[in-house]
């Protein structure tokens, strides 16, 4: 009798252990790892997007591994609001982040970030580099998001040391800046902000090209640290979220010389349309103050003024070199996943936080609702994603949050975005029921432009009186409207909103935009 009872206990224990192990294994199979690649200021200037002058073999490699969206749009074309939106899956009018200073933890404390929610679902989460906007995130680069602390490594090669003001490694530039720094200190300017302002007033190059290893700049170090973190994560038995945020191609355009050498400056094409669009309201434009802050840029340039041709080519060359520099870093990460045999269990997403003007409409940088500022590269790869597919449906960055959760096998949460899995799964019968994307951009203290992008058109309304979607929509608030036809006029040379033949289209898009703004669920 005692033996029988003992055997029963042993068998029961074995069955329980077996079931627990299967459950554990099942969880590992069900929940996928996530590699989250954020690239600052990256427009679709990538070979896989048809830009054949670009040298981007690793981004092209990632594109072939999965699906690229040709009509992906940001919520707002500047990094603070854009990143707050993708990380929470919420529109700017719900995060209450429309600038570079607001922390969504303070403006919308009820919201949770994507990695924060994943922690509650059994994930290890960590990141390196720029995921949130640094100037508007909580301590620890939004410490609630990470189960393993976020890092910004600074172990630069001894030959070069730490870059001056985070960017510059040219010995001549560093020496000149060091002398200016002494002058600032002699004037009692000890705080970093006041000191750097003094230095930059005299010397702040918009680009730098010197020979050296990838690790002499931030993004090279981020890659090394990301691979180190990958190995730490793989020692655990939990699925992981690893965010890697690259700084380039943000200004200043600094990259090792070998990436500049991929391009011949005299062969670089300039923006084909460098005028203000016919009939477009002035509120649509900005005077690109971000780039005018650099010491080698004519600070008197304003709306409608063209940059000198030689400087345009230098800047575009620098942007292209920085894209190729980041492309090389992404290649190292893909190699690391492949070497560790985890590609089949890892969902990868790559996104730019907004596009970038490179002289079109005489504009530079971002900060608008034009196509060059709002359109971004968006790529998914991994389990559940069809390979080597291009998708033209208009989508938004808020869609990334629910899409990753569904691909990774994580229980969803209530956000503004929609899952794009029906467009990724290779099943022609699945689709999404929205045929437009929404962007917005504020101008001044009391104006907001809302833009709706379909497969062919963009319709934009500029509202005064500090209108936001959580306020009553009033036609009397509208101070300007735009309509662009990307089939007939891909460079946005004319605002067609008043033309007779477009009135039915304008009416339809206005109705869709108004309905959208009136039905955004308020958080």
More reliable by pLDDT, 28 or 154:
154
pLDDT for res 19: 46
Is the pLDDT at 24 greater than 80? The verdict is no
The domain defined by 31-170+205-431 folds into Alkaline Phosphatase, subunit A (3.40.720)
343 to each of 34, 66, 102, 336, how far by Cα in Å? Answer: 10, 12, 36, 9
| Long-range CB pairs of 440-443, under 8 A, 24+ apart, other chains included | 440/75, 440/76, 440/91, 440/92, 440/93, 440/369, 441/76, 441/77, 441/78, 441/367, 441/368, 441/369, 441/373, 442/98, 442/99, 443/283, 443/286
pLDDT for res 268: 96
Q: 266-297 pLDDT, tens per residue?
A: 999 999 999 999 999 999 999 999 999 999 99
Is the pLDDT at 400 greater than 70? The verdict is yes
pLDDT for res 522: 75
Is the pLDDT at 371 greater than 70? The verdict is yes
Just list the catalytic residues. 79, 133
More reliable by pLDDT, 306 or 18:
306
∠ Cα 91 403 120 (to 5°): 85
pLDDT for res 28: 43
Average pLDDT rounded to a whole number, residues 128-141: 96
- CA–CA separation, 240 vs 117, rounded Å? 12
pLDDT for res 441: 98
Token pair, residue 177, equals 């800046």
Average pLDDT rounded to a whole number, residues 493-509: 98
pLDDT for res 285: 98
Binning pLDDT at 50, 70 and 90, where does residue 26 land?
very low
- CA–CA separation, 411 vs 85, rounded Å? 20
Closest Cα partner for 357 from 39, 134, 41? 41
Token pair, residue 233, equals 């994560």
The rounded mean pLDDT for the chain is 94
Q: How many CB atoms lie within 10 A of CB 401?
A: 24
pLDDT for res 523: 65
229-246 burial, b for 16+ CB within 10 Å, e for fewer? bbeebeeeebbbbbbbbb
Token pair, residue 338, equals 């492949």
Closest Cα partner for 246 from 460, 501, 42? 42
Is the pLDDT at 72 greater than 70? The verdict is yes
pLDDT for res 3: 43
Can you give the residue ranges of every domain in the chain? 31-170+205-431
Average pLDDT rounded to a whole number, residues 354-361: 98
Binning pLDDT at 50, 70 and 90, where does residue 67 land?
very high
Binning pLDDT at 50, 70 and 90, where does residue 4 land?
very low
What φ, ψ does residue 125 adopt, rounded to 5°? Answer: -130, 140
Average pLDDT rounded to a whole number, residues 439-449: 97
By the 10 Å C-beta count (0-12 exposed, 13-18 middle, 19+ buried), 351 is classed as buried
Q: 184-225 pLDDT, tens per residue?
A: 999 999 999 999 999 999 999 999 999 999 999 999 999 999
Binning pLDDT at 50, 70 and 90, where does residue 426 land?
confident
Q: 83-121 pLDDT, tens per residue?
A: 999 999 999 999 999 999 999 999 999 999 999 999 999
- CA–CA separation, 334 vs 329, rounded Å? 9
140 to each of 89, 136, 245, how far by Cα in Å? Answer: 21, 11, 15
Write the CB contacts of 523 (distance below 8 Å, at least 6 apart in sequence).
Answer: 90, 94, 108, 110, 111
Q: 372-383 pLDDT, tens per residue?
A: 999 999 999 999
Which is it for strands 395-396 and 66-73: parallel, antiparallel or unpaired?
parallel
pLDDT for res 30: 79
């Amino acid at each position: 009798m005692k033996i029988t009872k003992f055997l029963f206990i042993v068998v029961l224990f074995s069955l329980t252990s077996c079931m627990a192990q299967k459950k554990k294994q099942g969880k590992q199979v069900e929940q996928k790892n996530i590699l989250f690649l954020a690239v600052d200021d990256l427009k679709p200037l990538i070979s896989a997007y048809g830009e054949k002058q670009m040298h981007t073999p690793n981004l092209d490699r990632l594109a072939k591994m999965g699906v690229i969206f040709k009509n992906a749009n940001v919520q707002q074309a500047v990094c603070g609001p854009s990143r707050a939106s993708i990380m929470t899956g919420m529109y700017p009018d719900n995060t209450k982040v429309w600038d570079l200073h607001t922390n969504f933890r303070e403006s919308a404390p009820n919201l949770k970030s994507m990695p924060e929610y994943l922690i509650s679902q059994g994930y290890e989460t960590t990141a390196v580099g720029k995921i949130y906007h640094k100037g508007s995130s909580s301590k620890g680069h939004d410490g609630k998001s990470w189960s393993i602390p976020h890092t910004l490594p600074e172990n630069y090669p001894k030959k070069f040391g730490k870059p001056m003001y985070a960017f510059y490694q040219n010995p001549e530039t560093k020496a000149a800046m060091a002398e200016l720094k002494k002058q600032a200190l002699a004037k009692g300017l000890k705080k970093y902000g006041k000191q750097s302002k003094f230095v930059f007033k005299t010397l702040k190059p918009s680009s730098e090209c010197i020979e050296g290893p990838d690790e002499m700049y931030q993004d090279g170090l981020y890659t090394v640290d990301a691979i180190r973190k990958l190995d730490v994560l793989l020692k655990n038995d939990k699925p992981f979220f690893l965010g890697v945020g690259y700084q380039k191609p943000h200004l200043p355009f600094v990259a090792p010389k070998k990436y500049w050498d991929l391009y011949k400056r005299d062969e670089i094409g300039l923006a084909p349309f460098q005028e203000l669009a016919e009939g477009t309201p002035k509120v649509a434009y900005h005077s690109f103050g971000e780039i005018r802050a650099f010491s080698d840029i004519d600070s008197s340039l304003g709306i409608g003024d063209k940059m000198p041709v030689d400087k345009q080519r230098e800047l575009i060359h620098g942007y292209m070199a920085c894209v190729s520099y980041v492309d090389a870093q992404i290649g190292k990460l893909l190699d690391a996943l492949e070497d560790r045999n985890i590609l089949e269990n890892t969902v990868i997403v790559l996104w730019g936080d907004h596009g970038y003007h490179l002289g079109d409409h005489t504009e530079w940088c971002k900060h608008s609702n034009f196509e060059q500022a709002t359109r971004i590269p968006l790529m998914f790869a991994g389990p559940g994603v069809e390979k080597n597919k291009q998708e033209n449906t208009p989508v938004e960055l808020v869609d990334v949050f629910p899409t990753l959760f569904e691909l990774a096998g994580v229980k969803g949460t209530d956000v503004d975005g929609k899952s794009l899995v029906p467009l990724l799964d290779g099943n022609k019968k699945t689709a999404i029921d929205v045929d437009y994307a929404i962007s917005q951009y504020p101008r001044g203290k009391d104006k907001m432009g809302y833009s709706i992008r379909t497969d062919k058109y963009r319709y934009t309304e500029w509202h005064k009186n500090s209108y936001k979607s959580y306020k009553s929509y009033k036609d009397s608030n509208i101070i300007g409207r735009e309509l662009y036809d990307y089939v007939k006029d891909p460079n946005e040379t004319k605002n067609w909103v008043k033309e007779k033949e477009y009135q039915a289209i304008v009416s339809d898009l206005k109705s869709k935009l108004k309905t959208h703004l009136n039905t955004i669920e308020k958080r």
